[in-house]
Chains A and B, each alone.
Chain A
């Protein structure tokens, strides 16, 4: 597609429920990233996929968070048993490839998650 596409744009969920957030990266981009932005804060790295390599999960805040990327394209971020502190904007990004100093990373519009 023309840009990184995320869905849903907004999600309100009850505490304890599971949520899935979807990301469709730019066509041809092999690298995919998830970031989280809490209110008034900068972005926090969550997870990174590069091609068929094992993902870098070092930023996931707890084992309630998981992500997968099917067929090297679409990714789903899953948050189980949501807590109020999970409320944030979840931003997906993609890039042509990682490993070159001039690699530009493009972000989607984000999914705003509110846990009530």
Chain B
């Protein structure tokens, strides 16, 4: 079963706007990772946040993690058309070890020029 659930399922914005995607999960985790997928092919790793971290930044990306609420958010600032893709969160549950990443069904982001 999918542990991660992304919200919203789809998001449509204009270039330059910010995009926020949320992820909720069910069990305690070791870490949470965000990935981008273009056109249903390979996943590109964006950022990893450990369970003892609350916020991380990477370029235009900002990820937060709230383990008390079992949720994470991904913020893309000043979005570009090239950011159009599906975004997935993936958790490494404590009880299954680090290898079994559990993915949500993703948020489809459309950035219009």
A residues with CB within 8 A of B: 31, 33, 35, 37, 39-45, 48, 50, 56, 58-59, 89, 91, 93, 98-110, 112
Contacts and interface: CB of A to CB of B under 8 A. Distances in A.
Contact of A59 (B33, B44, B100): B100
Contacts of A106: 45
A48 B41 contact: no
A39 B33 CA distance: 22
A50 B35 contact: no
17 contacts: A39-B40, A40-B105, A42-B2, A42-B4, A42-B106, A43-B88, A48-B99, A89-B40, A98-B97, A99-B98, A102-B31, A102-B48, A104-B45, A107-B44, A108-B42, A110-B42, A112-B41
Contact of A41 (B31, B51, B100, B105): B105
Contacts, number: 72
Contacts of B103: 35, 42-44
B50 A101 contact: yes
A103 B101 CA distance: 11
Given A48-B99, A89-B40, A42 B88 contact: yes
Nearest 8 A-B pairs (CB), nearest first? A109-B42, A42-B103, A107-B43, A43-B103, A48-B99, A42-B105, A98-B99, A101-B30
Contacts of B92: 101
Nearest to A31: B99
B102 interface: yes
B105 A50 contact: no
Contact of B98 (A39, A89, A100): A100
Interface string B29-67: 011010100001111110010110000000000000000
A114 to B, nearest CB: 13
Q: Interface centre among B4, B98, B99, by most A CB within 10 Å?
A: B99
